[in-house]
Amino acid sequence: MKKFNVTGVCIPEEHYMVDISKKIEKIEKMVDEGAYFTINRPRQYGKTTTMFLLTKALTKRYIVIKTSFEGVGDSMFATEGAFCQNIFLVLARSVRFTDKGLYNIFKEYIDRTRNFNELSNNLTDIVESMDKECVLIIDEVDKSSGNRVFMQFLAVLRNKYLAMKADEDISFKSVILGGVHDIKNIKLEEKRVQLH
């Protein structure tokens, strides 16, 4: 018997919900085209459910890494080195129960990554070794957007994406950033970080 759900993810088989299949199809098309984009909605507008159903749909064709920086603590953002090592812990945690092989690969890179240059190179190596194209989804991006180190990480992802489009790098097929607030505020902060 279906129920109403007003917190967290809605599962079509368990909860009453609006049919968002057309929305998911449109987003899938953006991923298929290799877009780098954002999904931002206020709380209780279905962002979590959209991300859940999108991930479920994309895993049929892609390796999907869906993660969040919610609850990781401040120590991860203390230095570039701390972040670059811990990002592989975060990525490993996100695939632990869905892809054991990728989980083990991410864990191998924890001690091999001390700065953003090594992070970029290591991500290239990992993505290049995959047997399918890879999509990166980061939810709750705005929770860490005030942090300089995190903004540098977003700049690395963006630079890798642009270099890939110019055939100068190998990276994620598509990057999706999710959050509650308008991503323009994050982009403005990202530009300030790149200038310094």
The alpha carbon of residue 106 and the mean position of all alpha carbons in its chain are separated, in whole angstroms, by: 15
Q: Which residues pair with 175 in a beta bridge?
A: 36, 136
85 within domain boundaries:
no
Range among 34-38, 119-123, 148-152, 187-191 with highest mean pLDDT value: 119-123
- Burial environment of residue 53 by CB neighbours within 10 A (0 to 12, 13 to 18, 19 or more): buried
Give the span between the Cα atoms of 49 and 153, in whole angstroms.
Answer: 26
Question: Could you tell me the pLDDT band of residue 185, with boundaries at 50, 70 and 90?
Answer: low
7 within domain boundaries:
no
191 within domain boundaries:
yes
Q: Specify the CATH number for the domain of residue 179.
A: 3.40.50.300
Residue-wise pLDDT tens digits, 42-94: 565 667 888 889 999 999 999 999 998 887 888 899 999 999 999 999 999 99
Q: Which residues pair with 97 in a beta bridge?
A: none
122 within domain boundaries:
yes
Q: What is the pLDDT of residue 95?
A: 96
Residue-wise pLDDT tens digits, 39-53: 876 565 667 888 889
Mean pLDDT of all residues belonging to the chain: 86
Q: What is the pLDDT of residue 46?
A: 66
For the cut 50, the answer to whether the pLDDT of residue 10 exceeds it is yes
For the cut 90, the answer to whether the pLDDT of residue 188 exceeds it is no
- SS3 of 119-177: the string is HHHHHHHHHHHCCCCEEEEEECHHHCCCCHHHHHHHHHHHHHHHHHHCCCCCCCCEEEE
187 within domain boundaries:
yes
For the chain, the domain total comes to 1
142 within domain boundaries:
yes
**Domain of residue 41, residue span:** 24-71+115-195
Strand order in the sheet with 63-68: 36-40, 174-179, 134-139, 63-68
DSSP 8-state code for residue 4: -
For the cut 80, the answer to whether the pLDDT of residue 5 exceeds it is no
Q: Which residues pair with 67 in a beta bridge?
A: 138
84 within domain boundaries:
no
35 within domain boundaries:
yes
Closest to 43 (Cα-Cα) out of 81, 79, 7? 7
Give the span between the Cα atoms of 102 and 130, in whole angstroms.
Answer: 9
